[in-house]
Amino acid sequence: MYHAMSRKIKSTAIISAFFCAISCTEKAEFDSPENLEDIRAVVVSEGQFGYGTSSLTSLSYKGDVEQDLFRRINNRPMGDVAQSMTRIGDLLYVPQNNSKKIEVMDCRTFESVETMRINEDVIPMYVCHLGGDSIAVTDQKQNSRLIIMDINHGQERDVVRRTVSLGGGNRSFQMNLAGEKLFVGADKMCVFDLSDLTNKGMRYIRTQSGETIQTVDFSKIVSDKNGMIWALAYKYIGLNTNGYLYCIDPATETAVMEIDLASISINTWTSSLDISADGKTVYFNSHRRVYSVDTDNPQIPTQPVISPVRSDGRTVYNMCVSGENTIFLCEVLYGSLSRSRIYEYDLSGNELREFRAGLFSHFIYFY
Amino acid sequence: MRKALISGSLILSLFTAKSQTGLVDVDLEDVIVTADMKKRDEAAAGTKVTRISHDDIKTNLTKSLSEILLESSPIQIKSMGQGALATASFRGASSSHTQVMWNGISLNSPQLGNFDLSQVPIYFVDDISLYHGGSAQKEGSGALGGSINFSNEAYYGDKPSGSVLLEAASNETYTGGLNLKFSKNGFSSATRAYYQQSENNYRYLNKVFSNVHTYERRKNADYKQAGIMQELYYKTRKGDMLSLMGWWQADNRSLPQSIIVYDMAHEKNNSRNLRTMVAYDMKRKNHALKFSAAYLHGSMEYTRSFGEMVPDTSNNINSSMIAGADYTYSGFKNIILSGILTYRHDKVESDNYISSKERNTVNATIAASWRITKKLHIDARIPLEWNDETYFARYNVSGRYRLIDEWLTLKASNGYNYRVPTLNDLYWNPGGNPYLKPEKGFSSDFSVMTEPTFGTTHLKLEATYFYMNIDDWIMWVPKGNGYIWEPVNFNNVISQGIEFAGDLKFATGKISHIFSGNYAWIRSVDNSYRQEGTQGKQLPYIPRNRWNAGYRFNFNDKLRLHYNASFTDARFTSADESYQTEAYISHNAEVGYNMKLKSKMNIDFSVKADNIFNAYYESTQYYPMPLRMFWGRVIYSF
């Protein structure tokens, strides 16, 4: 009897000890980024659709790279399919299109300030500050709406003030605020007066022949040094598309110049447009070939500024121009979940740096 | 070609039948003795087998097969929550590498390759065995990781037997079940009916959407499940057994979304499944023959709706016909020979295919089981498969050696296996890749086991090392802009690890105790060079460590207590180990009281608490599981 009890006690003790030894689990914690002092740029990556792996990667002036800033600092995922980054004061706004929210964070610490949930059937893409406490957010959904939101953070409020229909079949993307007018890149590019942000107040931008303009999906709408608006666009010709570069007079809201890019293959969603810091030169890309156009003397470019050759199967997902007039290419490898590679080139075509960011890097914000 | 194969197999069977007669020692490891019939264990001699105890089955009658396996086995379960899709994987392989067999019939979907374990109410199951390893399964290919075998048993009691079950849970889950069995003059019938509905609006802590952590209730996770199973058996005077089984089940469930995604749409999945089979077992002296045929029909309607808009709907219908013969000859001294021939026809009609697709598979297996000495037993199998004009061959050799009686047994196995791409892999539109090659590879394992008994105390300990090397692993990866995915053959995946399993049972007077536990350490890595930064990294959703442990207390078959804890290590959710879910332990406990009434009538009361310590955990990333939940159950049986 004693031996039986002893065996029981031993068995119980052994198993209990086993439980105790391995039952202490630690919550996953992330190391904090070391270098947030001299950030030059932040790369926004979409992440894997549906998996909540959108991320931010910082590049410092020294060349240090920090991955996954938001998650490491806030100890939670940033969201699903991040699209862009807009700075308003000291805050950064990052729309997450499959989470239907905008993460708002401090531009220096990346600590979360607010999560602005959008209880609407929309795909939030880009943010534009309308002044005061209002922002406009574009929507990639067909029959899209412009979402007007309240940024009085820390106050109880309805974060979505109202939405403005952009008309049938119209998806909307990047925006540009020129004076008192808001230009919206879309399947039918449109413009609003800030004083009348309504569907009735919406006008389509038209070419001189009266056609509407379909902008390249994720391409910027930029203003040059003379205040003219530039947009990269395309038209369907049969089943194929043809690229165009438009210069738009914000006063007349019509394209005063149309540059036919038939000789350059413009992709309807991976080509991008950007402008030099001095507003004199616009740049756009066809895959890795980046072309420039002088805004004072626009000509159809015949030779690319840079045209790096690599046979790694990667695709350029975005092209940006930094404040130092260097060109950044975000390259992704379709058919895999490999991290994106970011390349920086000077205007002579020299590769200045290469670093990795998150999955499907799609946007770079320069500080 | 089909004729040639069938003829070949028949010749093979005749060849194996021509032999001298002789007595064969019955190896207790190879035989499962049930109430009134004996059936050979399909697992080879050296295979590691995990049997889920009848106590565990009884405790979890209203759970699904996935939930009981999570608590009581070392295999990995990936689940979207109660009542939602749940799949199992063995030893670092994927869920499509797990064959799920019902009374010897593979239930794996020809479309997906895997099987949704949430569709199996434990109420419909009498016996569950897991065969670990890539070549343990006797019939059919595809079980690169292992197989889950659940079955039903004929009832041959003196009097009719039955039970009525009612259960309610704190997440508004209500369950009812009915079970009636009787037998007379060799005829046996068992009827089971089951219904469960759940709002499944459990509480969880949302820690991921924003910095403000809030308790929320799960939305859009409701489901209804109803099923009926009828078994008919007839045993002749010669001991032949005719079995007829039918199982109809309907599942209507909402598909909740990840809490990091905010989708205004509602998704629903309605499925209907009819599974029928007929089998005839006969034995004449040294010859045993089993004929079986099955028809499986499944339909699944997926709808996605938003507000008042017309919902998007897609329909998938698949049907399978299976016929087979299994012949065993035990006339040689110490050697049992067997031959199996099966034919399977799968047909899928899907809105996601350009046209309906069919597949024909013929499998012929020859096997020998040789008891060389009383201590040494070796099994060898060579399955050949013809799959839509492509031939494959597998092999498996395994052995068991009792080194020191019940104190030390050594087991080992080695085999070559493969898995053909699923019909979705080949034909899904968009993304299907008709040029995929089958996955194939070698697997080996080695086990040390001890099983001593001291009076009323029984101890069983088993330690296993396994190694798998799989080429052309199929994985779906983003294509184009990332919104479309396609399957590709990756170069190579190597999975190895160690498994420990143990049971300790002892009794003192009217009190019995059972301690049980499983532990698995798995290193399953991607050896391909297709994706940067993933070489040598653990495959997604394969935890490096997993264990579960349980204790059962029983007093005089009246009062019982069951405590169970299961640990799942952090699991990477991306191929480069950048993202992971947290490790967690879930503790569950049940207290039950069985009140005996007159004759054989009983009323059994039990209360169960799941996740007692309110652990936050996700079975799939951003799919939070319930905090503490309570279940109350009454079973009247006679």
Instruction: Express each pLDDT in A190-240 by its tens digit.
Output: 999 999 999 999 999 999 999 999 999 999 999 999 999 999 999 998 889
Interchain CB distance below 8 Å, A339 and B532: yes
pLDDT computed for residue B7 by the predictor: 40
H or E segment to which residue B377 belongs: strand B376-387
Q: Give pLDDT tens digits for A295-331.
A: 999 999 999 999 999 888 888 999 999 999 999 999 9
The shortest C-alpha distance from B584 to chain A (Å) reads 7
pLDDT attached to residue B32: 36
User: B70 falls in which pLDDT band (50, 70, 90)?
Assistant: confident
Contact A254, A207 (CB under 8 A): yes
Verify whether the Cβ–Cβ distance B477 to A337 is below 8 Å: yes
Is residue B29 over pLDDT 60?
Answer: no
CB contact under 8 A, A25 and B508: no
Short-list B503, B487, B489, B395, CA closest to B437: B489
Residue B602 confidence (pLDDT) above 60: yes
Name the residue facing A19 among B207, B565, B621 (closest C-beta): B565
**A115 to B209: CB separation less than 8 angstroms, yes or no:** yes
Classify B612 as helix, strand or coil. coil
**Residue B576: its chain A contacts at CB < 8 A?**
337-339
Q: What are phi and psi of A80, to 5 degrees?
A: -115, 120
DSSP type of residue B134: T
Q: Above 80 in pLDDT, residue B9?
A: no
Q: Is the pLDDT of residue B530 over 90?
A: no
A138 contacts A124 by C-beta, under 8 angstroms = yes
What phi and psi values does residue A311 have, to the nearest 5 degrees?
-115, 50
Of B208, B261, B575, the CB nearest to A98: B261
- pLDDT value at position A143? 84
- pLDDT for A110 beyond 90: yes
Q: Kindly tell me if the per-residue pLDDT of B138 is higher than 80.
A: no
Q: Provide the pLDDT for residue A169.
A: 81
- Asked if residue A312 lies in contact with residue A261, where contact means CB atoms within 8 angstroms, the answer is no
**Which residue among B208, B565, B575 sits closest to A76, beta carbon to beta carbon?**
B208
pLDDT average, residue stretch B535-542: 87
Residue A37 has what pLDDT?
82
At residue A9 the predicted structure's pLDDT band, cuts being 50, 70 and 90, is low
Of the given ranges (B132-146, B217-231, B278-292, B390-404), which has the lowest mean pLDDT? B132-146
Closest CA to B412 of B367, B438, B385, B449: B449
Compare all CA atoms of chain A with the CA of B621 and give the residue at the minimum distance. Answer: A51
Q: What is the CA radius of gyration of chain A?
A: 24
- Residue A212 burial by CB count (10 A; 0-12/13-18/19+): exposed, middle or buried? middle
Query: What is the model's pLDDT at position B457?
Result: 94
Choose between A27 and B544: higher pLDDT: B544
Residues of B in contact with A23 (CB under 8 A): 565, 567, 585
**Residue B140, pLDDT above cutoff 80:** no
d(CA B503, CA B548): 12
Residue B24 pLDDT: 33
| Inter-chain residue contact A112 with B575, CB threshold 8 Å | no
Q: Which residues pair with B432 in a beta bridge?
A: none
pLDDT value, residue B482:
57
Distance from CA of A193 to the nearest CA of B (A): 31
What sign does the CA torsion over B138, B140, B141, B146 have?
Answer: negative
Residue type, A209: S
Kindly state the tokens that stand for B217. 């209730």
What is the distance of C-alpha A190 from the center of its chain? Answer: 20
Among B255, B365, B261, B242, smallest CA distance to B302 is for B255
Structure confidence at residue A26 as a pLDDT band (50, 70, 90): very low
Mean pLDDT (whole number) for A71-88 = 94
Chain B residues within 8 A of A51 when measuring between CB atoms: 258, 573-574, 579, 621
pLDDT attached to residue B42: 63
B585 has a pLDDT exceeding 80: yes
* Residue of B211, B569, B582 to mutate, interface with A, max A Cβ within 10 Å: B211
Interface test with A, best of B209, B219, B260 (most A CBs within 10 A): B260
Confidence grade of residue B31 (pLDDT, cut at 50, 70, 90): very low
CA distance A114 to chain B (A): 7
Q: Is there a contact between B478 and A335 if contact means CB atoms under 8 Å apart?
A: yes
Contact B290, B40 (CB under 8 A): no
Whether the link from the prior residue into B311 is cis, omega within 30° of 0, is no
pLDDT digits (tens, 9 = 90+) for A162-199: 999 998 788 999 999 999 999 999 999 999 999 999 99
User: Does the distance separating the beta carbons of B515 and A11 come in below 8 Å?
Assistant: yes
Query: Considering only alpha carbons, which residue of chain B is nearest residue A118?
Result: B262
Residue B585 and residue A51: Cβ atoms within 8 Å?
A: no
Q: Look at residue B334 in the predicted model and tell me its pLDDT.
A: 92
Nearest by CB: A8 against B210, B261, B506: B506
Kindly report the number of other CB atoms within 10 A of residue B250's CB atom.
15
Q: Which residue of B has its CA nearest to A339?
A: B532
CA distance A100 to chain B (A): 6
The answer to whether the complex's ipTM is over 0.85 is no
| Per-residue pLDDT band at A35 (split at 50, 70, 90) | confident
Count how many pairs of residues, chain A against chain B, have C-beta atoms within 8 Å: 139
Residue B323: the pLDDT is 97
B565 closest CB neighbour out of A23, A26, A48: A23
A152-175 b/e (C-beta count within 10 Å ≥ 16 → b): eeeeeeebbeebbebeeebbbbbb
Phi and psi (nearest 5°) for A170? -100, 110
Of B479, B506, B585, nearest to A23 by CB-CB distance is B585
The pLDDT of residue A160 is above 60: yes
Could you give the CA distance from residue A236 to residue A234 in angstroms, rounded to a whole number? Answer: 7
Banded pLDDT at B554 (limits 50, 70, 90): very high
User: Does residue A24 carry a pLDDT above 50?
Assistant: no
Per-residue pLDDT reduced to its tens digit, B297-349? 999 999 988 776 778 899 999 999 999 999 999 999 999 999 999 999 999 99
For residues B420-444, one letter each, b for 16 or more C-beta atoms within 10 angstroms of the residue's C-beta and e for the rest, the string is: bbbbbbbbbeebbbeebebbbbbbb
Contact B221, B207 (CB under 8 A): no
Q: Which of A4-13, A267-276, B74-83, B235-244 has the lowest mean pLDDT?
A: A4-13
**pLDDT above 70 (res B11):** no
